[in-house]
Amino acid sequence: MDTQENPQPDQPSSDARPVLEGPDIARVLTRIAHEIVERAKGADDVVLLGIPTRGVFLAQRLAAKLAEITDRKIPVGSLDITMYRDDLRMHPPRALARTEIPGDGLDGRLVVLVDDVLFSGRTIRAALDALNDIGRPRAVQLAVLVDRGHRELPIRADYVGKNLPTSLRETVKVQLAEEDGRDTVLLGAKRTARGAQH
């Protein structure tokens, strides 16, 4: 989820069309889980940190899949990046979400950040800053459900569910059962009035 470039996500515009459906999402998460195991050589020291809100649910789903594959419990937590955002002063204050670091901490671990949409990269920059204040991982990787392009910072994802070429006039909205009652990724037209903020 790249919050800064997606100001009106909760109500997808009426012409929004699904680009990923429930079974697709489950499939790509399974694939990402396998990739993590492969690249992390068994995922021994992996900690998954979801970025609220939907990144946390994705991280929990990934953890479950990793547990199936590796037969081990994979630590999963959440990392709220609100206080580290670079656009705080462009909006009214936001309610904070929970940062929950698994019991053994992050030092020396492979942290995989999990988010729903990768867009400008600013959320991930904030997440890296936040991580800096919490511990010193061995390495940090990034998993996203959708990469819609248009990066503004030198950031790329290590695991991508779907590359989705988009126009800046479009919005990408991820809906997950835990939060929204169903699994889907919607692509729609941006509402012009709100787009002016950016």
Partner 1 sequence: MQRHLISAADLTRDDAVLILDTAEEMARVADRPIKKLPTLRGRTVVNLFFEDSTRTRISFEAAEKRLSADVINFSAKGSSVSKGESLKDTAQTLEAMGVDAVVIRHGASGAPYRLATSGWIDAAVINAGDGTHQHPTQALLDAFTARRRLVGRDAGLGQDLSGRRITIVGDVLHSRVARSNVDLLHTLGAEVTLVAPPTLVPVGVETWPCDVSYDLDSTLAKSDAVMMLRVQRERMNAAFFPTEREYSRRYGLDGDRMARMPEHAIVMHPGPMVRGMEITAEVADSDRCTVVEQVANGVSIRMAVLYLLLGGNEPAVAHPSPTTTLASRRFAPTPAFRTTEEK
Where on the chain is the footprint of partner 1 (CB under 8 A)?
A: 1, 3, 6-7, 9-10, 52-53, 80, 82-84, 88-99, 129, 132-135
Between 33 and 114, whose beta carbon lies closer to partner 1?
Answer: 114
Contacts made by residues 104-107, CB under 8 angstroms, sequence distance 24+: 104/75, 105/135, 106/47, 106/131, 106/134, 106/135, 106/136, 106/137, 107/135, 107/136, 107/137
Report how far residue 83's alpha carbon sits from residue 98's, in angstroms, rounded to the nearest whole number.
11
Q: Is 120 helix (H, G, I), strand (E, B) or coil?
A: coil
Between 71 and 192, whose beta carbon lies closer to partner 1?
Answer: 192
Q: Write down the least CB distance from residue 104 to partner 1, Å.
A: 14
Structure tokens that stand for 38 in this block: 């492969």
Structure tokens that stand for 53 in this block: 């809100």
Q: Write down the least CB distance from residue 159 to partner 1, Å.
A: 22
Report how far residue 85's alpha carbon sits from residue 140's, in angstroms, rounded to the nearest whole number.
19
Between 52 and 161, whose beta carbon lies closer to partner 1?
Answer: 52
Between 13 and 99, whose beta carbon lies closer to partner 1?
Answer: 99
Q: Write down the least CB distance from residue 95 to partner 1, Å.
A: 6
Q: Write down the least CB distance from residue 19 to partner 1, Å.
A: 18
